[in-house]
Amino acid sequence: MPPYTAAQKQTIAQFVALTDTKDPVAAKFLKGASWHLERAVDAISSRSDWGFMAILCCQLICKFHYLSRYDMHEHYEVLQNTRKSTASARPSFKAYQTTLTQTCSALYFASPQSDASPVVLQSLGRLFDEYRDNVKDSPNSIGIEGAMKYFNDINVQLDEVTCLGIMELCKCEAMGEFNREGFVDGWRGVQCDTIPRMATYASTLRTKIPTNPDLFRRIYRYAFPISRMQGQRNLPFDLAAEQWRLFFTADRGGIPWSTASTPWLEWWLEFLEERGKKPVNKDLWEQVEVFMRKTREDEAFGWWSVDGAWPGALDDFVAFVQGKRGDGSAMEL
C-alpha cells in the first residue's frame, strides 16, 4: 500500500469496515471520491446489486450480529425491494443506512432464528463460565467474587448507579450475583457478547441514567427488591439511606437532590432519623423518586396539595421542610 496520511488510513479502514472490501479497492474508490467516505461508498454500491448487498450484510452484522452473513442471503429479495423503494433515483449512503436499520430490525425480530444464534449464545456462555466461582456446585451462577471481577473488567464501580443498571439488565435476583439465563438474555438483548462491547454499553448507560427519567426510574425501582433482606417485605432504614445517597448524588451517577434553598437529601434523611429510622416500604420508596423530581422542578411546593395521594411520611416531610426554611407562605397541612 502506498504511503497515506493518518487521516487517509483511518478513512480506508472505515470504508473497509462498511463495504467488506480490501484495502486497495478501498483506496481506489476513496481516491476517486477525493477521500470523501460517503461518496466513495455510494460509488461502490452503485456498481452492482452484490456491492449493495455486501454493504447491507456488513452493516447488518454490526447492528444485529446475531444473524450470520449466510442468514442474510435468505432475505435478499426483501432487501432488494427495500432498496428500490428508498428513492426513485440512486439512493444516497445515508438513505441506505436509515433503511437498513429499519429493515434489519424488522427482519431480526421476525426471524425464527433470532431467538438463539449459536455463535452469540456460545460466546456469552463461554464468557459467563469465565467468572463462575463454584463450577461444580453452582455451574449456572456467578457469585460475589466473580461478579466483582466482572464489574472491574467492564469498568464499572460497585458503588455507582451503573452497577445496579447492569444488574437490572441481567435480571439479577440477589445483590452481586448473576444467573446464566439472565446474563445471556440481558446481554443478547442489547447486542453485546464481548467484554469490550459490554464496557462500551456500561459507559453509555452511565451517561443515560441521570438524563433518561424512564431508565432512571426503572433502575431505581429495581433497587428496592434487590436490596431487601431475604424474606423481608420492607427495606431497613440504613440500607434505604445508603441507596438514596447513591441515587440522589451526582458523584456516583445519580441525580443530585438539592436546590437553591434546600438540601433535600440531607433533610430527608435527617427527618427519617428523627422519626426513629423506620423500615421503608415499597410505596414510600417509589414515591420518594417522584417527589424528588417535583421538588427539583419547583422547590416552593407550588405543585403540592394536601389532597394528593402521597405517603404520610412525605406529607410530614413537607411540613418539616417548611419549618426548616421558615417559609412565611407555608400552607396548612
pLDDT in tens, 181-240: 999 999 999 989 999 999 999 999 999 999 999 999 999 999 999 999 888 999 999 999
118-208 fold: Recoverin; domain 1 (1.10.238)
The CATH H-level superfamily of 227-325 is Cullin, PONY binding domain (1.10.238.200)
pTM equals 0.65
Return the domain boundaries, the chain.
Answer: 6-110, 118-208, 227-325
Q: What pLDDT does 112 receive?
A: 38
Q: What pLDDT does 65 receive?
A: 41
CA 120, CA 126: separation in Å to the nearest integer? 10
Q: What pLDDT does 50 receive?
A: 43
Q: What pLDDT does 108 receive?
A: 43
DSSP bridge partners of 142: 178
Per-residue pLDDT of the chain (333 residues; tens, 9 = 90+): 467 887 888 788 777 777 767 888 888 888 888 888 878 877 776 654 445 555 555 555 444 443 333 334 444 444 445 444 444 444 444 554 555 555 554 444 443 334 446 788 889 999 999 999 989 889 999 999 999 999 999 999 999 999 999 999 999 999 989 999 999 999 999 989 999 999 999 999 999 999 999 999 999 999 999 999 888 999 999 999 999 999 999 999 999 999 999 999 999 999 999 999 999 999 999 999 999 999 999 999 999 988 788 999 999 999 999 999 987 544 444
End-to-end, the C-alpha distance of the chain in Å comes to 79
| 118-208 and 227-325 share one fold | yes
Q: What pLDDT does 2 receive?
A: 63
